[in-house]
Structure 1
Amino acid sequence: MGVQSTNIVCRSDRPGETAFRCGETVNGSVVVTIDGHKSHKFSSMLLKVRVQAKTEWEENDTNYSETQDLFRLDLPLRSATTGETSLPPGQHQLPFSFPLPERLPHTMKYHEAKVVFLLKARLKSSSMWSWDGAQEVKLRILPQRDLSQCFDLAAPLKMLREDKWTMWNGNPGEFSVTVAKQGYVAGETIDLWIDASDGVYTELAQLDGHVKLKRLVVAREGKKNYNEERTSIATVKPGKAASAWHRIQLTVPEDEITMDDLALCRIISVTYYVKVKAL
Structure 2
Amino acid sequence: MRPWGVRSFVLELARDPGGSYRGGERLCGRVLLEAAAPLRVRALEVAARGGAAAHWLEGSSLGINAVSSDYAASETYLWRRQLLLRDTGETTTLPPGLHEFPFSFQLPPTLVTSFEGRHGSVRYSIKATLHRPWAPARRARKVFVVIEPVDINTPALLAPQAGVREKVARTWYCNRGLVSLSAKIDRKGYTPGEVIPVFAEIDNGTTRPVLPRAAVVQTQTFMARGARKQKRAVVASLVGEPVGPGRRTLWQGRALRIPPVGPSILHCRVLHVDYTLKVCVDIPGTSKLLLELPLVIGTVPLHPFGSRSSSVGSHASFLLDWGLGALPEQPEAPPEYSEVVADEEVPTAEQNLFPPLPDLDLGLEGPFFTYIQEFRYRPPPLYSEEDPHPPTEAIRPRCMTC
Q: TM-score range by the shorter chain?
A: 0.7 to 0.9
SS in 2 for 1:174: strand
Alignment of 1:76 with 2:83, yes or no, is yes
Structure 2 counterpart of 1:271: 274
Q: Deviations over 1:7-29 (max 9, x none)?
A: 111122x5x62433444332211
Counterpart CA distance in 2 for 1:166 and 1:71 is 56
Whether the aligned pair in 1 keeps the contact of 2:54 and 2:72 (CA below 8 Å) is yes
Indicate the structure (1 or 2) with the bigger Cα radius of gyration: 2
Deviation at 1:267, TM superposition (A): 0.5
Structure 1 counterpart of 2:55: 56
| Aligned match for 1:254, one of 242, 249, 260 | 260
Whether the aligned pair in 2 keeps the contact of 1:179 and 1:192 (CA below 8 Å) is yes
Alignment of 1:174 with 2:180, yes or no, is yes
Counterpart CA distance in 1 for 2:199 and 2:146 is 35
Structure 1 counterpart of 2:232: 230
| Aligned match for 1:140, one of 142, 145, 152 | 145
SS in 1 for 2:157: helix
Counterpart CA distance in 2 for 1:69 and 1:131 is 28
Q: Which has the higher contact order (CA 8 A, sep 6+)?
A: 1
Counterpart CA distance in 2 for 1:166 and 1:260 is 39
Deviation at 1:247, TM superposition (A): 2.8
Deviation at 1:61, TM superposition (A): 5.4
Whether the aligned pair in 2 keeps the contact of 1:40 and 1:88 (CA below 8 Å) is no
Counterpart CA distance in 2 for 1:171 and 1:57 is 44
Q: 1:100 to 1:165 in 2, by over 3 A?
A: farther
What is the aligned-residue RMSD (CA, Å)? 3.0
SS in 1 for 2:228: strand
Counterpart CA distance in 2 for 1:272 and 1:111 is 17
Indicate the larger mover: 48-57 or 19-28: 19-28
Q: 1:231 is matched by which residue type in structure 2?
A: A
Structure 2 counterpart of 1:193: 199
- TM-score, scaled to structure 1: 0.80
- Counting aligned pairs with the same residue, the percent is 22
Counterpart CA distance in 1 for 2:170 and 2:236 is 25
Structure 1 counterpart of 2:220: 217
Structure 2 counterpart of 1:160: 164
Counterpart CA distance in 2 for 1:67 and 1:275 is 31
Structure 1 counterpart of 2:304: none
Q: 2:146 is matched by which residue type in structure 1?
A: I
Whether the aligned pair in 2 keeps the contact of 1:213 and 1:234 (CA below 8 Å) is yes
Structure 1 counterpart of 2:379: none
Q: 1:176 to 1:132 in 2, by over 3 A?
A: same
More strand by share: 1
- TM-score, scaled to structure 2: 0.57
Counterpart CA distance in 1 for 2:113 and 2:140 is 23
Counterpart CA distance in 2 for 1:274 and 1:120 is 41
SS in 2 for 1:152: helix
Counterpart CA distance in 2 for 1:260 and 1:224 is 17
Matched pairs, number: 259
SS in 2 for 1:111: coil
Counterpart CA distance in 2 for 1:178 and 1:18 is 37
